[in-house]
Structure 1
Amino acid sequence: MKARGCSVFCPARHGVLKMVSKLCMNCFSSYRPGNDGGRCPICGWDNNKQQPQGVLKYQTELTSRYIIGRVRSLNGEGITYCALDSSTQKLVELREFFPRAIARREQSGAVAPSSEHSRTFQQYMEDFLELSKNVSRLRELSVVESVLDIFQENGTVYTVYKDPDTISLNRYVADSGGRLSWNETSRLFTPVITALSLINSLGVSHLALSPETLRINRDSNMVITGFHINPVHRAGGVLDLDLYPGCAAIEQYSAKATCGEVSDVYALGACMLFCLTGQLPDDAPRRLRDQRLMISKEIIRTVPPFAVTAIANSLQIKQAVRTGSFETFRTELSSAPALVDEVEETDAIRRLPPVSRDLPRHRYGLPPIVWLIGSCLISLVVLAIVASNWMGDQGMSFHDLGQIFGENKNEEPIQAPNMVNQRFDVWQNRTESGEFSFKLKISSQVFNDTVAEGSIVEQTPASGETMRPDGTINVVVSKGSATRTLPDFQGASFAELQAKLTENGFEPKKEEQFSSEVELGYVIGYKDYKAGDTLDYATMVVVLVSAGPEEN
């Protein structure tokens, strides 16, 4: 579509309002400023609030059709506005591609890339356009937000979505008493899992599933929203990072790891856990130290063991052992009927079906002892699964159970190799690839000034000691020095500095300031420190980021 310059919408020219009324920038109803003081009597929005710096002005008109209202949300990819479709007089949600870290807003309202990022801007804009087209192809799926229109204007791309007459999953769970039953959780998520399987088969990964992007409509059904280009949801790029704590998989914190369907499975598993317990898991980097999912026995008793196991497997930190696809996840979650009776308020052991003392003499031609052994084995399997989940450790798969009940081979002992001062991830890859049969387990992580971060400080058994070939070596891993040096920020965008700070063990926090000297999205400096300062590990560092020049 040919790009056009934007204009300011004139209510009188469009015949929408009388001169004595104004248009609410949230719901687009008319209100009388003299009587209402700027607050809309319909939705309660305070129309005296100003738009954020650098966004389109109120009542800007795009493609002679869409009237811009307030900003609903913004992230490293762009800005989402409330808008009015003047051709239908219906509310819509309009998404503008505007990556502020690599682009600026011109006086005309156009979006222009910075000179050093013009190629990246063009590539990401094409990705945004392609993503919008892919989502628009899913309009037949009622669980996916509907794309109504896609157009190019102001040097960028806009996507128009149907107005989401929904509430967030966060709000829905809170309004339901802080938790949902397994039956309700299963009802909400089953069609979403099917849709996400289809979406990922088309090469589209969401990477931002959360209790905010999963929303509930008036029919009490779940809708998937919040589609963005992938670079904004993984570390290491030039765009401002946007990760939802507790839902982002560990690979999204890395610039090198592969993200995709397996990352979406993690996020959806986290959202299901949130529904059942009212809490998300800890952030993925913290779970590297302790992977356990702390689920109370009270909640465990209300959820089928197969469902707890499936969710635990979807929330494995390591990709190699995590549930890898939504098809597999759906299969694990449907190991029993989705709707189950309320579980008795007793221990899981007492809930196991008792073995009858009056054994049948023969059944289907089998002697009684066979039925006795079979019943015991089934009971042990159920106990193993329930115990695994009660302990909050990693989920137990049927492969794990096979190892429990497998043959106990008398294999020759081996000598533990020397791992001290070597990278833990290297040894982890060697064990996971099958080069060694033993397992690695991090017993603790400690600060150490002599052993590099991520390397092994000590191991048990020690190097040269004998062990079973399929045994476990417990290792202590170095977190590096307890103090770190703040990196230089000159000429860096916030996304670039954020990646450096996170890699060095700091917790960066963004704070915007108006600046006529530093380009929009680039770093002005540190708020309380200066480059080269030595700070403790995990110190929160406030980064001052330019919001561009202040409008007069």
Structure 2
Amino acid sequence: MGHGGFGITYLGWDANLQIKVAIKEYLPREWAHRDANAGQVVANSSDVQVHFQTGLNNFLAEARTLAKFQQHPGIVSVLSFFPAFGTGYMVMEYVEGQTLKSYLQLYGRLAWTQTLDIFIQIMDALRAVHKAGLLHRDIAPDNIYICSDGRVKLLDFGAAQLDGIGSVQSTQSQTVIVKPGFAPEEQYRNTREQGPWSDVYSVAASMYFCLTGEAPPDALERLKQDTLKLPSAYGVLMPPAAEQALLNALAVNSFQRPQSIETLQQQFLNLPANPAVGLDTRTNIHVNPQLKSKFAYPVASKNRYFFSGQRWLIIGSLSLMMLIFIFQLAKDKNPRIEPVPVAKGSGPSLQMSAPEPISNNDELVDRSRQRELERQASEELKQQQAAALKRFEERQRQESAPAQQGSKSLDATQKEHLRSLCDEWGATMDCKDFQ
């Protein structure tokens, strides 16, 4: 289904569970290759053998990390892990969709409300990750997955590690391939300064990319000269408070950022009730059905998700339809009398006599009397039907044998009685057997 610098993802079939799965193979192309004859994955040279083996151990650690969040709706689930052909394989749940990076390439940058809907779900997932004492350290649009049902998943925990606060880490465990523009400056260095605030920076950088179409300048370059532009400079329509919260999360100095993902999430959720005038509130996320089989990744089962803007759009549409219906109903109650067109020509003109006016009081009295007569007739009909049904049920109880089971033909007297009822009340009875 896809491949990258560290492996290949295959579409598989679980013969026991009878379900599709995604199988991720560890195959770092810089350190290893597949032997064409034996089919084994081997290191490119003895010099990189240690790197290959360390990476394989980290690949297994990634599977174990994901297994901690088996039931979380915003994190990819792992079903199994097994070694084979000199490398390792991770088996994950499969669902159709595409990465956020692919989505942006297809549809362009997003509105503020679209971006917020996506990243509120990502922040929910990160709260669980941080609560478990882990850091993701590789949050970027290519590691965020938009499911075909609208849900959002956080992918690729290959760079995840224990939170540096109060934990012992080796230099090797600190090593990570950073994504320029999305990684904070402390992630470039082998220090213990990384923490939840590091993932806060990457989340904000990814949101910035969705809004502007460009990644923030590299964090190391910003240390020398900060050239970060405001989203509003790109024409982005968003609440000023939201823009300020985003810029705070993108602070180069880690101490100036929100220190937890919960804090950042609350800042976005607690925005003023009245946003800026002209705010773009589009929240529809396009999911192209033709791309479902092309973009796929292992994530949890489907559960339809609607973005908040779509719900309000539906409510607004229904309200508008109701107003139109009420207006039309009122219009029908007071019909407009259109003049009859008169044909032009040499013939005599037609003169229409005006109808005599009808007293409003007389009209109301006539309508009231008519409704009363209809009500009385309806009540009388109901009483007659009830009486006839009661007679039939009483006659049936008297003439039916208690021990008789199954179907039994009726005697001539019963048939004649039912036939007379059908003749009188055929519209309210099933009379096909007594015709």
Q: TM-score range by the shorter chain?
A: 0.5 to 0.7
Per the normalisation by structure 2, the TM-score is 0.53
Residues 154 and 246 from structure 1, CA distance in 2 versus in 1: closer, same or farther, beyond 3 angstroms? Answer: same
SS of 1:288's partner is helix
Residues 289 and 213 from structure 1, CA distance in 2 versus in 1: closer, same or farther, beyond 3 angstroms? Answer: same
User: Equivalent residue for 1:125?
Assistant: 56
Higher relative contact order (CA 8 A, sep 6+): 2
Deviation digits for residues 301-328 of structure 1 (CA, Å, limit 9, x no counterpart): 8322322222111111122322222122
What is the CA-CA distance between 1:192 and the residue it aligns to? 1.5
Distance 1:145 1:283 in 2: 28
Q: Is residue 2:269 matched to residue 1:334?
A: yes
1:215–1:222 CA contact under 8 A, matched in 2: yes
Which protein shows a greater Rg?
A: 2
1:207 aligned to which of 137, 144, 151: 137
2:79–2:93 CA contact under 8 A, matched in 1: yes
SS of 1:84's partner is strand
1:216–1:222 CA contact under 8 A, matched in 2: yes
What is the CA-CA distance between 1:193 and the residue it aligns to? 0.5
Alignment of 1:191-340 (within 5 A): 191-230=121-160, 242-256=177-191, 258-295=193-230, 297=232, 302-336=237-271
2:111–2:211 CA contact under 8 A, matched in 1: yes
What is the CA-CA distance between 1:268 and the residue it aligns to? 0.7
AA matched with 1:335: N
Alignment of 1:168-179 (within 5 A): 168-176=99-107, 178-179=108-109
User: Equivalent residue for 1:344?
Assistant: 277
What is the CA-CA distance between 1:159 and the residue it aligns to? 0.6
Distance 2:231 2:121 in 1: 27
Distance 1:173 1:117 in 2: 36
What is the CA-CA distance between 1:164 and the residue it aligns to? 4.4
Q: Is residue 2:114 matched to residue 1:181?
A: no
What is the CA-CA distance between 1:281 and the residue it aligns to? 0.8
- The answer to which structure has the higher strand fraction is 1
Residues 318 and 129 from structure 1, CA distance in 2 versus in 1: closer, same or farther, beyond 3 angstroms? Answer: same
AA matched with 1:151: F
User: Equivalent residue for 1:162?
Assistant: 93
User: Equivalent residue for 1:73?
Assistant: 3
Residues 256 and 108 from structure 1, CA distance in 2 versus in 1: closer, same or farther, beyond 3 angstroms? Answer: farther
What is the CA-CA distance between 1:214 and the residue it aligns to? 0.9
Unaligned 5+ runs, structure 2: 162-170, 280-435
User: Equivalent residue for 2:23?
Assistant: 94
User: Equivalent residue for 1:147?
Assistant: 78
SS of 2:58's partner is helix
Residues 123 and 279 from structure 1, CA distance in 2 versus in 1: closer, same or farther, beyond 3 angstroms? Answer: closer
What is the CA-CA distance between 1:230 and the residue it aligns to? 4.9
What is the CA-CA distance between 1:283 and the residue it aligns to? 1.7
- The answer to which structure has the higher helix fraction is 2
1:82–1:91 CA contact under 8 A, matched in 2: no
Distance 1:299 1:261 in 2: 29
Deviation digits for residues 367-420 of structure 1 (CA, Å, limit 9, x no counterpart): xxxxxxxxxxxxxxxxxxxxxxxxxxxxxxxxxxxxxxxxxxxxxxxxxxxxxx
Aligned-pair Cα RMSD in Å: 3.3
Unaligned 5+ runs, structure 1: 1-25, 27-71, 347-552
What is the CA-CA distance between 1:191 and the residue it aligns to? 2.2
2:12 aligned to which of 62, 74, 84: 84
Distance 1:121 1:173 in 2: 33
- Number of residue pairs the alignment of both structures matches: 267
User: Equivalent residue for 1:480?
Assistant: none
Residues 180 and 104 from structure 1, CA distance in 2 versus in 1: closer, same or farther, beyond 3 angstroms? Answer: closer
Distance 1:297 1:83 in 2: 42
Per the normalisation by structure 1, the TM-score is 0.43
SS of 2:118's partner is helix
* Runs of 4+ with >6 A deviation: 236-241, 298-301
